[in-house]
């Protein structure tokens, strides 16, 4: 297994809509294993394929460090089938290091996906798992955390980002 490079804002791959996975071969299994290792090394609770430069509808999520009743999830071609209520949650993102924002999300979601072997599954989620699923599915749709905040906060983020880039050169 290998730790992959996590792509950072503003890399273009992060804004592209990922393509459905159609082949469940050894290459896919290696990518999944590498994504899991990368997520743990970061450390993070979720990682989507576009974050490692792969435009595939694939994500890994593990919130067991905060809620041990939920084991590692591998979701392929996930779709949010239904959502209920609304909650605000402070989120971070491995592609936006050292940045967090309070985001409104559905409090409860029902997600249909395939597992790493291509078998259908349904996940009914609340709390952190619901947030993580929505966050990673956003990545698969080319939506970043900063796309979920107000335009004023987004402009502030972009200005701060440009300053840090100039400072780091």
Asked if residue 129 lies in contact with residue 65, where contact means CB atoms within 8 angstroms, the answer is no
Q: Which of 69, 7, 64 lies closest to 38 in space, CA to CA?
A: 7
| Interior angle at CA 38, CA 32 and CA 44, nearest 5 | 110
Q: Residue 59 — φ and ψ, nearest 5°?
A: -150, 155
CA–CA separation, 39 and 43 (whole Å): 6
Question: Which entry of 98, 122, 136, 155 is annotated as an active-site residue?
Answer: 136
What's the token pair of residue 93?
Answer: 């993102």
Would you call 136 a catalytic residue per the annotation?
A: yes
Active site residues: 136
């Amino acid at each position: 297994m290998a730790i992959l490079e996590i792509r950072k804002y503003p890399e273009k791959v992060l804004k592209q809509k990922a393509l459905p996975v159609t082949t469940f071969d050894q290459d896919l299994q290696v990518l999944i294993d590498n994504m899991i290792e990368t997520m743990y090394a970061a450390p993070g609770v979720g990682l989507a394929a576009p974050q490692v430069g792969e435009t595939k509808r694939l994500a890994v999520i593990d919130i067991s460090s905060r809620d041990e009743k939920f084991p590692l999830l591998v979701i392929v071609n996930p779709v949010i089938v239904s959502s209920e209520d609304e909650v605000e949650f402070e989120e971070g993102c491995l592609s936006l290091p050292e940045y967090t924002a309070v985001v409104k999300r559905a409090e409860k979601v029902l997600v249909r996906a395939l597992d790493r072997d291509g078998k259908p599954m349904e996940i009914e989620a609340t709390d952190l798992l619901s947030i993580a699923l929505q966050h990673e599915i956003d990545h698969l749709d080319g939506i970043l955390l900063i796309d979920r905040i107000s335009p004023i906060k987004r402009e502030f983020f972009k200005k701060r980002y440009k300053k840090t880039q100039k400072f780091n050169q």
